Structure formats: structure tokens, C-alpha cells
């Protein structure tokens, strides 16, 4: 990993069209400004990883046919005219 030191207000560039600017530093928190083309997806890492993990958890679930049928039964089991318990 390339490690650089920057001060507030300074920037780094990645490739030709991505610029990351240190907007401010306050204690352990750093504020970054990111200029990148629209098609470049910029996400906080924890969001990116959560999305990956959720997709992996949803993919190829064993016995998914039975689980979908069970869920369907539960969704349809109640008649809307029935009084609630």
C-alpha cells in the first residue's frame, strides 16, 4: 500500500480524473472531498462490504425452493377478513 502524508487542503490524484482532497482534520476524524467521474462508484468501505456480504448470503441458499414455499404459505395464510388474534 502506498502511504502518503498530506495536510488539510492538500490533495492526491488517482489516474487522470480522480482527486481526493483533505478537507479537514479534527482529532481522529478526517474529512475527504472526492472528485471522480459519475460512473466511478464511491462508497464507505463498510457499506461496500455489507453489500457484498448480503449478496453472498442471498446467493445459492440451500433448499431455497422449500424456504420460498414456506414463506409464501405464511404470507398467504391469513385471510384479510379474519379478526386479528
Partner 1 sequence: MLSNNYKLKTPANLISNPLGATVDRLAALGLLEKELFFPAGLFGFPACRHYKIEPFEPGDGSESPFLLLNAVGHELTFPLIQPASMGLDYHFPRSAELLAALGARAPEDLLPLLIVTLRETLEEITVNLQGPLIVNPIAALGAQLVLEDQPLRHPLLKPADAEDLLRSC
Distances in Å between the alpha carbon of 76 and those of 24, 67, 69, 81?
Answer: 54, 14, 11, 12
Q: Which stretch binds partner 1 (CB under 8 A): 3-11, 12-20, 27-35, 39-47?
A: 39-47
Residue 11's beta-bridge partner residues? 21
- 70 lies in the binding site for partner 1 (CB under 8 A): yes
Q: Which stretch binds partner 1 (CB under 8 A): 1-9, 13-21, 22-30, 48-56?
A: 48-56
For 38, the 3-state DSSP assignment is: coil
- 50 lies in the binding site for partner 1 (CB under 8 A): yes
Interface ranges with partner 1 (CB under 8 A): 38-39, 41, 43, 47-48, 50-61, 64-65, 67-72, 74-80, 82-85
Amino acid at each position: 500500500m502506498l502511504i502518503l502524508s498530506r495536510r488539510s487542503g492538500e490533495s492526491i490524484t488517482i489516474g487522470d480524473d480522480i482527486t481526493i482532497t483533505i478537507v479537514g482534520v479534527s482529532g481522529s476524524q478526517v474529512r475527504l472531498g472526492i472528485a471522480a467521474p459519475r460512473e466511478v462508484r464511491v462508497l464507505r468501505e463498510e457499506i461496500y462490504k455489507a453489500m457484498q456480504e448480503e449478496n453472498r448470503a442471498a446467493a445459492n441458499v440451500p433448499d431455497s425452493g422449500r424456504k420460498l414455499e414456506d414463506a409464501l404459505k405464511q404470507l398467504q395464510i391469513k385471510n384479510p377478513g379474519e379478526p386479528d388474534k
